[in-house]
């Protein structure tokens, strides 16, 4: 086995593509797997990056790409596909995880890093949450991500396999489509606030998230553990929007729409788009950005991983803005 070979599933996504670049920069041999790898066109001719277009539900494919792998970073998941069935979410977020774990263990993988989500908590009643906070997910994505976590922990208990679960908060930065959309709608003065914006969001800049992945891959004695990964502190949504306005040096005061009005609109739009099998422009899931508060205690990650976020929100937003400007996206 090559100790410097890593498999990254979900490698074509925002976080996954950045993780590919980060692992290559660390001198690793990278196998990048996803259904779409457009974000990795810049690595197409890189000799140390093997790009594999495929589905994590294909066991034969997984068997092939796992050969000689030291570390698996499992990021692939069903997430924003509102029109998909509950069964689809369970197949991707649970069944495929179990298959990948079994095959990785059989192939002798040294460490399996499973990327979950703080969405597993569902609506939080008490802040900040930590790894001992009870989970009450209320949408299928969150429910199946929690089931995927449980599958990892159960497999570790049963086999002794070395696997770790990370729960990232709101990750942002270059290549993030949701962050870009936020910047764009604010710049075009088309952004509106649902509610008064006093709910909290807990961001983490992409480079800090990448460091957490590397720490989770290398730290000994953490098998079966779960770690929350976030920045040093949360921020009210209204302040986050204000910082983005200031970063773009524009004058803008967003319109505020009552939650009681927006919720039925989202339900109607979801229903109409589901009839034509298309993803809606906004949904009750995206509404959570305005309605739910997220704040997390990262003390366990600091102790167990040696994790310490380095990028402040203002610096991270400026780095994100500059990247998007340089790419002609803003």
Q: Is 144 a domain residue?
A: yes
Whether residue 2 is predicted with pLDDT greater than 70 in this model: the reply is no
pLDDT tens, 165-192? 999 999 999 999 999 999 999 999 999 8
d(CA 327, CA 330): 8
Peptide bond into 118 cis (omega under 30): no
Mean per-residue pLDDT for 139-158?
96
Nearest to 288 by CA among 88, 122, 120: 122
pLDDT above 90 (res 291)? no
Predicted confidence band at 107 (pLDDT cuts at 50, 70, 90)?
very high
Inter-helix orientation angle 313-326/237-247, to 10°: 50
Give DSSP secondary structure letters for 83-141.
TS-HHHHHIIIIIHHHHHHHHHHHHT-SEEEEE--GGGG-S-SSSSB-TTSPP---SHH
How far apart, in whole angstroms, are the C-alpha atoms of residue 289 and residue 80? 13
- Over residues 155-171, the mean pLDDT reads 97
* Tens of pLDDT, residues 135-145: 999 889 999 99
Q: What is the average per-residue pLDDT within 262-268?
A: 83
Give a yes or no: residue 31 inside a domain: yes
Cα distances (Å, whole numbers) of residue 203 to 33, 39, 122, 236, 312: 26, 22, 17, 11, 10
Cβ neighbours around 121 below 10 Å, total: 22
pTM (global) more than 0.85: yes
pLDDT at 102 over 50: yes
* Res 82 pLDDT > 70: no
- CATH number, domain of 165, equals 3.40.50.720
Q: What is the pLDDT of residue 233?
A: 93
pLDDT band at 22 (very low <50, low <70, confident <90, very high): very high
Does the residue 197 lie in any domain?
no
* CA–CA–CA angle 26, 66, 28 (5° rounding): 10
pLDDT beyond 70 at 295:
yes
- The distance of Cα 137 from the centroid of its chain, to the nearest Å, equals 16
pLDDT value at 267 more than 60: yes
Give domain status of residue 319, yes or no.
no
Angle at 254 between CA 285 and CA 282, to 5 degrees: 20
Tokens describing residue 79: 């997430």
Q: Which helix (H) or strand (E) holds 220?
A: none
pLDDT digits (tens, 9 = 90+) for 194-244: 988 999 999 999 999 999 999 999 999 999 999 999 999 999 999 999 999
Specify burial of residue 220 (Cβ count, 10 A radius: 0-12, 13-18, 19+).
Answer: exposed
- Of all residues in the chain, what percent carry a pLDDT higher than 90? 81
Q: How many residues does the chain have?
A: 330
* In a domain? residue 184: no
Q: Is residue 46 part of a domain?
A: yes
Query: What are residue 227's DSSP bridge partners?
Result: 166
86-109: average pLDDT: 95
> What pLDDT, on the 0 to 100 scale, is given for residue 257?
86
Q: 3-class DSSP state for residue 235? A: strand
What are the beta bridge partners of residue 229?
168
| Whole-number pLDDT of residue 1 | 43
Q: Give the model confidence (pLDDT) of 53-62 as tens digits.
A: 999 999 999 9
> In total, how many domains does the chain have?
1
> What is the extent of the structural domain holding 111?
5-172+203-232+294-311
The arithmetic mean of pLDDT across residues 29-36, rounded, is 96
Instruction: Report if residue 180 sits inside a domain.
Output: no
Residue 55 maps to a domain:
yes
Percent of the chain at pLDDT > 70 equals 98
């Amino acid at each position: 086995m090559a100790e410097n070979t890593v498999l990254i599933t979900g490698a074509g996504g925002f976080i996954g593509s950045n993780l590919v670049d980060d692992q290559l920069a660390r001198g690793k041999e990278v196998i990048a797997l996803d259904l779409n790898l457009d974000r990795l066109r810049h690595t197409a001719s890189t000799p140390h990056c093997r790009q594999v277009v495929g589905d994590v539900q294909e066991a034969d494919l997984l068997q092939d790409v796992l050969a000689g792998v030291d570390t698996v970073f499992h990021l692939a998941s069903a997430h924003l596909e509102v029109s998909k069935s509950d069964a689809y979410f369970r197949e991707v977020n649970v069944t495929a995880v179990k298959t990948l774990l079994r095959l990785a263990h059989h192939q002798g993988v040294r460490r399996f890093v499973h990327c979950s989500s703080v969405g597993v908590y569902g609506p939080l009643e008490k802040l900040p949450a930590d790894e001992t906070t009870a989970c009450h997910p209320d949408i299928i994505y969150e429910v199946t991500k929690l089931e995927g976590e449980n599958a990892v922990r159960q497999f570790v208990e049963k086999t002794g396999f070395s696997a770790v679960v990370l729960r990232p908060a709101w990750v942002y930065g270059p290549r993030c489509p949701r962050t870009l959309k936020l910047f764009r709608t604010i710049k075009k003065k088309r952004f509106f606030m649902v509610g008064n914006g006093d709910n909290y969001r807990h961001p983490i800049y992409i480079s800090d998230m990448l460091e957490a992945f590397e720490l989770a891959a290398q730290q000994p004695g953490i098998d079966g553990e779960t770690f929350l990964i976030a920045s040093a502190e949360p921020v009210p949504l209204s302040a986050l929007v204000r910082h983005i306005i200031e970063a773009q040096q524009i004058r803008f005061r967003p319109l505020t729409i009552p939650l009681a009005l927006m919720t039925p609109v989202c339900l109607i739009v979801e229903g109409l788009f589901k009839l034509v099998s298309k993803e809606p422009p906004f949904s009750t899931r995206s509404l959570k950005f305005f309605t739910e508060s997220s704040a997390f205690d990262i003390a366990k990650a600091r102790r167990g991983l040696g994790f310490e976020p380095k990028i402040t929100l203002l610096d991270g937003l400026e780095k994100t803005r500059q990247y998007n400007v340089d790419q002609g996206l803003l």
